[in-house]
């Protein structure tokens, strides 16, 4: 069984791979809408990771204060 951290990293890697693939296909087919949507998805994924790290830091800070 995979650990939780490994599974989370695998999910993120697969998501970014699919976004990259969709961006490459959109560029290949010269689809402006596809490129825009792929870039929006990439931005959303990066923003999610940013929020995730901020939440993790805040939780660790709260745990340190509780001790």
Structure tokens at 48: 């999610």
pLDDT of residue 41: 97
- Could you write out the DSSP letters of every residue in 1-67? ---HHHHHHHHHHHHHHHHHHHHHHHHHTT-HHHHHHHHHHHHHHHHHHHHHHHHHHHHHHHHHHH-
Structure tokens at 5: 């951290």
Q: Where are the domains of the chain?
A: 4-66
> What pLDDT tens digit does each residue of the chain (67 aa) get?
889 999 999 999 999 999 999 999 999 999 999 999 999 999 999 999 999 999 999 999 999 998 7
Quick check: pTM over 0.85?
no
């Amino acid at each position: 069984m995979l650990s939780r951290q490994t599974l989370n990293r695998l999910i993120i890697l697969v998501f970014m791979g699919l976004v990259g693939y969709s961006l490459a296909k959109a560029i290949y087919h010269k689809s402006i809408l596809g490129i825009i949507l792929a870039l929006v998805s990439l931005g959303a994924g990066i923003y999610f990771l940013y929020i995730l790290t901020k939440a993790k830091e805040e939780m660790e800070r709260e745990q340190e204060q509780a001790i």
